[in-house]
A and B are shown apart, each in its own frame.
Chain A
Amino acid sequence: MIRFIILQNRQGKTRLAKYYIPLEESEKHKVEYEVHRLVVNRDPKFTNFVEFRNHKVIYRRYAGLFFSLCVDITDNELAYLESIHLFVEILDHFFSNVCELDLVFNFHKVYLILDEFILAGELQETSKKAIIERMGELEKQE
């Protein structure tokens, strides 16, 4: 199960944080700080997996943004690495060559996309096309 997803830039500013487990606000900030410290200094040649408390963090860096996923110890790391990539591709498609600024100004849309991709800590849909189409339908409802 995915416990949380965090998008952070190199300076540690959180651009997106979605938690699938209950945490106090202060704990959330602590977690974000620790995760940032963990991933920002790692050599790119190293593995994309780090142990974090009793769980694992799977992360990847895309340009200036770190996408970090915290999962249970027993989960398949390689699979979640693929899911991070799928998410980035969806964002890229939706925002047409996404950059960090897009994510800042349209944060609510990013959350909506995320909610179509992952629910209750598990993958919901694996087709990029299906998600983009759904976002389109939802936009029409507005």
Chain B
Amino acid sequence: MNPFSSGTRLRDMIRAIRACKTAAEERAVVRKECASIRAAISEDDPDYRHRNLAKLMFIHMLGYPTHFGQMECLKLIASPGFPEKRIGYLGLMLLLDERQEVLMLVTNSIKQDLNQTNQYIVGLALCALGNICSAEMARDLAPEVERLLQFRDPNVRKKAALCTIRIIKKVPDLAENFINPAAALLKEKHHGVLLTGVQLCTEICKVSTEALEYLRKKCITGLVKVLRDLTNSPYAPEYDISGITDPFLHIRLLKLFHVLGHGDADASDTMSDILAQVATKTETNKNAGNAILYECVATILSIEDNGGLRVLAVNILGRFLSSRDNNIRYVALNMLMKAIALDSQAVQRHRATILECVKDPDASIRKRALELVYLLVNESNVKPLTKELVDYLEVSEAEFKGDLTAKICSIVEKFSPEKIWYIDQMVKVLTQAGNYVKDEVWHALIIVITNAPNLHGYTVRALYKAVQTAGGQETLVRVAVWCIGEYGEMLVGNSGMLDVEERINVTEADAVDVIETAIRCHSSDLTTRAMCLIALLKLSSRYPSCTKRINDIILQQKGSLVLELQQRAIEFNSIIERHEKIRSALVERMPVLDEATYSGRRAGSVPAAVSTSQGALPKIPNGVVKPASAALVDLLDLSSDADQAPSSSGGDYLQDLLGVDLAPASQGTNQTDKRGADVLLDLLSIGAPPAQSSSSMLDMLSSGQDNKSAVGMLDNLASPSAPSAQASSPGASSSMMDLLDGFGPSPSVPETNGPTYPSIVAFESNSLKITYKFSKEPGNPQTTIIEAQFVNKSPDIYSNFVFQAAVPKFLQLHMDPASGNILPESGNGSITQKLRVSNSQHGKKSLVMRMRISYKANDKDVLEEGQVNNFPRGL
């Protein structure tokens, strides 16, 4: 009895589900059905198992979970009857896949079915095996399948062949066993078996070189004959499709030739005739014919060179390219990418058509065409091609713009013949699609600009004009703002005019307008605004007449909620208002950024975090944004490991930027150091007398335990005036001295080169006296051991006595715990504490120390501070 012949229950269920008007109704029906199926399963009811599984499969197709039915599949497969097995295998393939362990349970049933004589049952088992077997099952059942490759019934043979494909994909080692039977299949007459045999051979060759060799030697001539017979065969109604006999077999044979001929000249020779025949004789008015031609072209392009054939292939592709059928054009574009590698000249001839395809309304074709155009670009055609692409950028759709922009930028960068053309193209791209341009691209643009001094004027004027029309493109605004900041005087002065330019009249106010608009615009993000602030600072120096206005604009950002902007605004405002003298030096022209380093850096794999901070560099003239602290420390490395050569590779790009390149550019910086130090002072509000400010600084420079980080924090605040400070050591030490409250350069104590040094009175006040005794460790001249002695000069006892010290960066300080924290009165006792100071500038700079002493006397907290300047020289 065929349970489907009455089919009431299954059919009824389907009808019921389809009749549901809402999802909730459907869920209710499904739930009911699942419940009754589950009940039947638990009762182990054999009668309706078949029907239940069919219903379960339908429910599964609707998207509901059906795991509880998996065991039912197994039970059905194990039943003796064909209908049960059939539905069981069907359910198995639908509800399970190779990753589930339940599948293993089926292995035995499948094995038994594979050994049956009934070819239909064998077929069922092979089908299931071929679709979902796992690697273990493949291994277990491979011998059975191998035997079945020679079964009497062709249906079984073809299924076995495809099943073998899956087996060798899962377990490539088994491939060797199948080489001979696979080759035998190639002699079949039955199309189905032949087709599957060819497919099997193709797969085996991909997996096993041994098979490849064998087939190349033994089977090529046979295969050529098969293809020839097929091509020449008369009308065969059973396999005819659009007038061609079995195009699928054609295509599969060609694919096998592809694999056999690739890399082997002899094989390629043997097949060249038949390939030529197929290429020339196949009908092209129907899809089937074109499919064969396409495969033929693919094969020709991958086998060893045969000049005539290749020309034929590219010509066919050219014909495809002008076809009206979109599918054909698509495959042609695809294949041309391969052809370019082999014969770029031939493909160049079709450049115009390909360019047209970039503008096609179909997204798939546009994408392929763009990829192809990218491969076609070379030095001679880059200009017209880019022009076309940039023109198209204007009208292209938003989703395509991203791709297109990236490709154009890439082309322009790689092939630009001269800088001015590069800048022109980039300005155009930025104007059209600035928002799609990636960060590295516009950074690279800025680098190129700095490297082209003769074009500075031209560039800034071009950008100014562009921003007037396309102010919405943020990247364009950023580049423009940077350039206006750097080259502002060239903009208003019309200097460096090239022949192709017209005079434009830009006043200083106009230029500041541009930046003001950018900074005020709601959609400008942090980067843009930050860049605007820096640019304004630069302009305040280049346009002295606008200083007031610029200052006002900067002041508006003082209250910004973003820390970065607030900080910059305050700092720049301070520079403008109080440090006129050093301002111009601070904002001098940026040093030329080294293209080679930068592009080398980009080419290598730069970690994202680092690259974003370094990428940010070109826009920051003097300051450091917030890169890794390592960069900061190096930046203000006043303890300068002076021989530290800025390393281009790996190391901080920051050093490159502000290290070597700075030297030639900053002639006047030495004098500025003192003033630079003043800036530092002000910035840290150290000059302010109240104790809290200096104590707050000293708080940072803690009790000397971890000096390096403390001074590092100092560096943080001191950042904006960095480069001036770094330039020279003596200047640096004096600035550091000034930092520690301007006591002036270290006093010249007579040089004592001997190992003993006189002790000094480090500090003396009415209430306290501190003496230092020095000693050096033998063999370690850089380190000085200081024994500090504290004596109480007053009649009160001091308690909670704490001594803190701070040193400049070139020194390192370690403090041992004090001997006590109660200081008896009137010198009746003392507290001693051992300090260890390491001088990395030993011999060049002498020690300096700032002290802070706190204690409690008469229930009052007392704080005293001082600086020790009278260290013996040579320490």
Contacts and interface: CB of A to CB of B under 8 A. Distances in A.
Contacts of A78: 287, 290-291, 294, 327-328, 331
Interface stretch (B361-369, B530-538, B711-719, B842-850): B361-369
Nearest to B293: A78
Interface stretch (B238-246, B265-273, B648-656, B856-864): B238-246
A34 interface: no
Chain A CB within 10 Å, residue with most, of B65, B199, B367:
B199
Interface in A106-142: 107-108, 111-112, 115, 119-130, 134, 137-138, 141-142
Contacts of A129: 238
Nearest to B97: A22
A126 B362 contact: no
B396 interface: no
B182 to A, nearest CB: 14
Contacts of B90: 108, 111-112, 115
A100 B66 CA distance: 24
B130 interface: yes
B63 interface: yes
A46 B248 contact: no
A129 B241 CA distance: 12
Interface stretch (B158-166, B564-572, B625-633): B158-166
Interface in A38-93: 43, 45-51, 76-79, 81-83, 86
Interface in B17-69: 18, 54, 57-58, 61, 63, 65
B82 A120 contact: no
Contact of A22 (B4, B98, B326): B98
B162 A47 contact: no
Contacts, number: 152
Interface in B286-339: 287-288, 290-291, 294-295, 298, 326-331
B165 A76 contact: no
Interface in B142-180: 155, 158-159, 162-163, 165-166
Contact of A25 (B65, B127, B158): B65
A79 to B, nearest CB: 5
Nearest to A115: B127
Interface string B215-252: 00000000000000000000000110100001111011
B130 A49 contact: no
B869 interface: no
A20 B131 contact: yes
Given A17-B61, A47-B365, A124-B159, A142 B199 contact: no
A10 B329 CA distance: 27
Nearest to A89: B241
A125 B287 CA distance: 19
Nearest to B194: A126
Interface in B180-227: 191-192, 195-196, 199
Nearest to B89: A115
A19 B98 CA distance: 11
Contact of B97 (A19, A29, A105): A19
A28 B364 CA distance: 24
Contacts of A138: 86, 120
A76 B332 CA distance: 11
A18 B90 CA distance: 11
A125 B363 CA distance: 34
Given A79-B251, A127-B191, A122 B98 contact: no
A26 to B, nearest CB: 10
Contact of B364 (A46, A124, A130): A46
A119 B131 contact: yes
Contacts of B165: 120, 122
Given A82-B287, A134-B155, A107 B364 contact: no
Given A79-B295, A126-B246, A47 B362 contact: yes
A99 interface: no
A50 B368 CA distance: 11
B58 A107 contact: yes
B83 interface: yes
Interface string B742-767: 00000000000000000000000000
Nearest to A137: B120
A142 B18 CA distance: 28
Contact of A76 (B61, B98, B294): B294
27 contacts: A18-B93, A22-B98, A43-B361, A46-B362, A46-B363, A47-B327, A48-B327, A77-B327, A78-B287, A78-B290, A78-B294, A79-B295, A82-B291, A83-B248, A105-B11, A108-B4, A115-B131, A119-B126, A119-B127, A119-B131, A123-B199, A124-B159, A124-B195, A126-B249, A130-B238, A141-B82, A142-B82
A-B residue pairs, 6 tightest by C-beta? A78-B291, A120-B130, A46-B362, A22-B97, A119-B162, A120-B166
Given A46-B364, A78-B287, A142-B83, 9 more contacts: A48-B327, A78-B291, A79-B247, A82-B241, A105-B14, A126-B248, A127-B239, A141-B83, A142-B86
Interface of B: 2, 4, 11, 14, 18, 54, 57-58, 61, 63, 65, 82-83, 86-87, 90, 93-94, 97-99, 120, 126-127, 130-132, 155, 158-159, 162-163, 165-166, 191-192, 195-196, 199, 238-239, 241, 246-249, 251-252, 255, 287-288, 290-291, 294-295, 298, 326-331, 361-365, 367
